[in-house]
Amino acid sequence: MLGSEAFGRLFETFERTAFRLETLAVYDVSEEREEFERFLAGAEMGPDWDDNPWVRSMTDQGKQVSRVHVLRSPLTDYLRYELAAYLGNTKAGESIGIIDLAEQAPTGLPDHDFWLFDNQEAYRMHYTVEGTFVGGERVPARDLVQYQTYRDRALAAAVPFADYWERRP
């Protein structure tokens, strides 16, 4: 299992594509706590909010970054924060889709997060009950096709983020 630092290095070494499936309603990320509190207070979020530099560091190299977030309305405070931040991610070049389980019930998706790099390496993400990242576990090669199928199903079922966001109150 890869911890945060080792897992983070995967974003420096993938060559073409990185796809993420997200499934949690809350992620407890220590680096986001202050920003999350500012968001809840309605404060100014700063320039990184408008054009995510982490995403931009990959897309400026011609790499494709995409995700599908499986969630359920009504949104938690954390999901409202995260989706608002997606505006800066999409501006930086990330392709994001949303599957709202209150609107549709796709089948054949896992109940856990994962990343798929270059269509060759999948990592199942492990979190505590509170949403704190524990580590990323590389999926055995024999299961790679299953994770490629999960990705394809998620992408087929997802609503483009811009369309989903436009409908939000």
- Structurally, the chain folds into a number of domains equal to 1
Q: What is the pLDDT of residues 81-96, one digit of tens each?
A: 999 999 999 999 999 9
Please, are residues 9 and 115 in contact by the beta-carbon 8 Å criterion?
no
Please, which pLDDT band fits residue 169 given cuts at 50, 70 and 90?
A: low
Which residue range is the domain that position 134 belongs to?
4-167
Structure tokens at 50: 């408008």
User: In the chain, count of helices (H) and strands (E)?
Assistant: 8, 7
Task: Tell which residue, 71, 53, 84, has the closest CA to residue 113.
Answer: 71
Task: Tell which residue, 21, 17, 13, 5, has the closest CA to residue 153.
Answer: 21
Task: Specify the CATH number for the domain of residue 114.
Answer: 3.30.870.10
Q: What is the pLDDT of residues 22-74, one digit of tens each?
A: 999 999 999 889 999 999 999 999 888 899 999 999 999 999 999 999 999 99
Q: What is the pLDDT of residues 4-18, one digit of tens each?
A: 999 999 999 999 999
What rounded mean pLDDT belongs to the chain?
Answer: 95
Identity of residue 159? V
Please, are residues 93 and 59 in contact by the beta-carbon 8 Å criterion?
yes
